[in-house]
Amino acid sequence: MTVTKTYLCLGSNVGDRRAAIVGGVAELERSGVTVEAQSSLYETEPVGLEDQRWFLNRVVCGTTKMAPDRLLAACKRIERWFGRRRSRVRFGPRTLDIDILLYGDHAISTDRLTIPHPRIRERRFVLVPLVEIAPGVVDPRDGTPYAEILERLDEGKKVSKSLPSAS
């Protein structure tokens, strides 16, 4: 099976956010993702439902032999392990969220999975840490560097590096 580079975004705004993200990365590695790079942790303003605690986010780059659907299943299993329950509240609070941002240079669109992530170009909380660890990464659909997309993005949400003690 082919080894594929993948980028994933982890986020949490319930409980010990830092422990959930660190634990989520460790579980990704146990599940078959070899993590090669991790962004800083970022305090990020909520998107969609604004009346909630700010998120802590991190993007990781890794390699995997898992097919995209198996990787998605692993991410969902890890989210559940950390107490994530699907809510009727869109963009609501969560103990751990893991999104597949990129999977090699593939563009995938199925009922269950869209890669690149469908809102990657709209989210500063994703683009800032992604560009931190992979400044040259491009959108596989049109070759546009994500650094350029970030420069032009004016969504108005705050994203700042987290202090070491933020939970």
**Side chain identity at residue 120, one-letter code:** I
The angle formed by the CA atoms of residues 148, 61 and 6, to the nearest 5 degrees, is: 90
pTM for this prediction: 0.90
pLDDT, tens digit, 9 for 90 and up, residues 99-141? 999 999 999 999 999 999 989 999 999 999 999 999 999 999 9
Q: Note if 142 is an active site residue.
A: no
pLDDT of 92 > 90? The answer is: no
Which of 18, 77, 80, 84 does the annotation list as catalytic?
84
Which of 18, 53, 58, 97 does the annotation list as catalytic?
97
Mean predicted lDDT score pLDDT of the chain: 90
pLDDT of residue 162: 78
Domain residue spans of the chain: 4-161
Q: Note if 84 is an active site residue.
A: yes
Q: Note if 94 is an active site residue.
A: yes
**Max Cα-Cα span within the chain:** 45
pLDDT of residue 64: 98
Which of 30, 58, 85, 94 does the annotation list as catalytic?
94
Q: Note if 88 is an active site residue.
A: no
Third-level CATH fold of 4-161? Alpha-Beta Plaits (3.30.70)
CA pair distance 52, 134, nearest whole angstrom: 30
How many angstroms separate the Cα of 89 from the Cα of each of 4, 65, 93, 141? 33, 34, 8, 31
Ramachandran region of residue 19, left (φ > 0), alpha (ψ -120 to 50) or beta?
A: alpha
Which of 16, 70, 85, 99 does the annotation list as catalytic?
99
pLDDT of residue 85: 67
